[in-house]
Structure 1
Amino acid sequence: MNHLLEVNNLEINFKTYGGEVKAVRDVSFHVDKGEVVAIVGESGSGKSVTVQSIMGLIPTPPGVIKGGSIKFQGKELLRASKREMRKVKGSKIGMIFQDPMTSLNPTMIVGKQIAEGLITHQKLSKQEAKKKAIEMIKQVGIPNPEERYNQFPHEFSGGMRQRVMIAIALACNPELLIADEPTTALDVTIQAQVLELMKKLQKDTQTAIILITHDLGVVAETAQRVMVMYGGIMVESATVFDLFENPKHPYTWGLLNSIPNLEGTEKKQLIPIEGSPPDLFSPPKGCPFAPRCKYAMDICLEEMPGDYQIDESHSARCWLNDSRAPKVEMPFTLEKEKTVTVGGESID
Structure 2
Amino acid sequence: MSHLLEVNHLKVSFATRDKELEAVRDVSFHVDEGETLAIVGESGSGKSVTARSLMGMFSSPNGRIRSGEIRFEGRVISGLSAKAMRRIRGSEISMVFQDPMSSLNPTMKVGSQIGEGLRKHRKLSPKDARARSVELLNLVGIPDAPSRYHQYPHEFSGGMRQRVAIAMALACDPKLLIADEPTTALDVTIQAQILDILSSLQQQTGSSILLITHDLGVVAEVAHRVAVMYAGTIVETGTVEDIFDRPRHPYTWGLLQSTPRLDDTEHDRLIPIEGSPPDIAALPPGCPFADRCPHTMDICLTEMPDATIFSSKHSARCWLNDPRAPRVDDRIPAERNEHDRIYN
What TM bracket, shorter-length normalisation? over 0.9
Question: How do residues 181-196 of structure 1 correspond to structure 2 at under 5 angstroms?
Answer: 181-196=181-196
Amino acid at match of 1:340: R
| Distance 1:96-1:11 versus aligned 2 partners, 3 A rule | same
TM-score of the superposition, structure 2-length normalised? Answer: 0.96
Per the alignment, residue 128 of structure 2 pairs with: 128
| Cα deviation digits, residues 188-225 of structure 1 (max 9, x gap) | 11111101111111111111000000000100000000
Per the alignment, residue 172 of structure 2 pairs with: 172
Question: How do residues 1-348 of structure 1 correspond to structure 2 at under 5 angstroms?
Answer: 1-17=1-17, 19-58=19-58, 61-263=61-263, 268-333=268-333, 335=336, 339-340=340-341, 342=343, 346=344
The residue matched to 2:193 in structure 1 has which SS? helix
The residue matched to 2:166 in structure 1 has which SS? helix
In 1, the alpha carbon distance for the partners of 2:86 and 2:20 equals 29
1:329 Cα deviation after fit? 3.9
| Cα deviation digits, residues 143-167 of structure 1 (max 9, x gap) | 1010000000000000000000000
State whether residues 286 and 301 of structure 2, in contact with CA within 8 Å, keep that contact through their aligned partners in structure 1. yes
State whether residues 221 and 341 of structure 1, in contact with CA within 8 Å, keep that contact through their aligned partners in structure 2. no
The residue matched to 2:168 in structure 1 has which SS? helix
The residue matched to 2:310 in structure 1 has which SS? strand
State whether residues 217 and 340 of structure 1, in contact with CA within 8 Å, keep that contact through their aligned partners in structure 2. no
Deviation above 4 Å: which 4+ runs of structure 1?
Answer: 264-267
State whether residues 180 and 212 of structure 2, in contact with CA within 8 Å, keep that contact through their aligned partners in structure 1. yes
Amino acid at match of 1:145: A
In 2, the alpha carbon distance for the partners of 1:72 and 1:277 equals 31
TM-score of the superposition, structure 1-length normalised? Answer: 0.95
| Distance 1:199-1:296 versus aligned 2 partners, 3 A rule | same
| Most deviating of 326-335 and 184-193 | 326-335
Amino acid at match of 2:48: S
| Distance 1:170-1:48 versus aligned 2 partners, 3 A rule | same
| Most deviating of 262-271 and 84-93 | 262-271
| Most deviating of 28-37 and 71-80 | 71-80
Q: Structure 1: which 5+ residue stretches go unaligned?
A: none
The residue matched to 2:200 in structure 1 has which SS? helix
1:182 Cα deviation after fit? 0.3
1:335 Cα deviation after fit? 4.3
State whether residues 261 and 342 of structure 2, in contact with CA within 8 Å, keep that contact through their aligned partners in structure 1. no
1:267 Cα deviation after fit? 5.4
Q: Structure 2: which 5+ residue stretches go unaligned?
A: none
1:235 Cα deviation after fit? 0.1
| Distance 1:271-1:141 versus aligned 2 partners, 3 A rule | same
The residue matched to 1:43 in structure 2 has which SS? coil
1:264 Cα deviation after fit? 6.5
Amino acid at match of 2:341: V
1:340 Cα deviation after fit? 3.1
In 2, the alpha carbon distance for the partners of 1:118 and 1:188 equals 32
State whether residues 8 and 29 of structure 2, in contact with CA within 8 Å, keep that contact through their aligned partners in structure 1. yes
1:18 Cα deviation after fit? 5.5
In 1, the alpha carbon distance for the partners of 2:329 and 2:248 equals 9
The residue matched to 1:42 in structure 2 has which SS? coil
In 1, the alpha carbon distance for the partners of 2:263 and 2:239 equals 24
1:299 Cα deviation after fit? 0.5
